A = this chain, B = another copy of it.
């Protein structure tokens, strides 16, 4: 049996650290003087992505590619998206396609073909659970057949998460917490996100090997993890303890302002990977050494890479430091 992609990701993050480099590469993140060296913005983005992957692969547990920025460039952008994924696959670097798809089963089957096979093939994708767990099934088939994995939206880091994810459910939904890890710190409030979590626990149970003696056996992670971006540490600890077997994709670190300590509190148990996108991609804009040269318009790709490397290195160090404390 092939090793599951989520397990591969966990091992990679143990070896290289928890940093996930997000290639949300908008052309506006590239200085004009570099953009104009290429035939199109999409080609410039591919060149930047390629250089970033080579520069940062030793520092990153994985890479995440946010498809929205490529869709925004049309067909040329999606060609760059396909090529970026191919570079990562060829290097055997774990790659997460941040696509947040979700649709009825027939349509989900098409999305699964689209992103687990062919030109857009990724190891792991992100999924939106809103339409229900039957919409996840077509993707689960690829866990068996190709060792694929997914991160399902559980608790996102944007302010609007209070609108749906954080709504309190009626007490009649208490069963959604019954399967969860019992812990005295667990609050008794049941939220929409707990319904998603409950579904992910059921998925974990379906795929758990009989050798894993308990949900807390940290030598195993479920092929379906969760997107968890917390803004307070108490909540982070609560969610981490409630879902010990789920590997977490943790957004909101870096440019979104999330702290390393908060991220570190989500990295215990099954662990996780901490995404930083814009903070790394636009590091050159905040590099004091580049400030003068930036205004005179003679930045080079090497300048961008040096800044990106410094920020990625510092981010990784900060995360590992926070993990030790």
Contacts and interface: CB of A to CB of B under 8 A. Distances in A.
A322 B107 CA distance: 28
Contact of A130 (B72, B129, B199): B129
Interface residues of A, number: 61
A107 B66 contact: yes
Interface in A89-133: 100-108, 110-111, 113-115, 118-120, 128-133
A49 interface: no
A75 B66 contact: no
A163 interface: yes
Interface string A160-192: 111111011111110000000000000000001
Contacts of A208: none
Given A78-B78, A153-B131, A114 B172 contact: no
Contact of A72 (B75, B79, B113): B113
A4 interface: no
26 contacts: A24-B106, A24-B107, A26-B110, A68-B101, A68-B103, A69-B110, A71-B111, A71-B114, A72-B113, A72-B114, A74-B82, A74-B118, A100-B103, A102-B130, A129-B163, A129-B164, A131-B156, A131-B161, A131-B164, A132-B160, A132-B161, A163-B199, A167-B169, A167-B192, A168-B169, A170-B171
Interface of A: 24, 26, 66, 68-69, 71-72, 74-75, 78-79, 82, 100-108, 110-111, 113-115, 118-120, 128-135, 153, 156-165, 167-173, 192, 195-196, 199, 251, 278
Shortest Cβ-Cβ A-B pairs, 6 listed: A132-B160, A134-B160, A71-B114, A132-B163, A130-B130, A74-B119
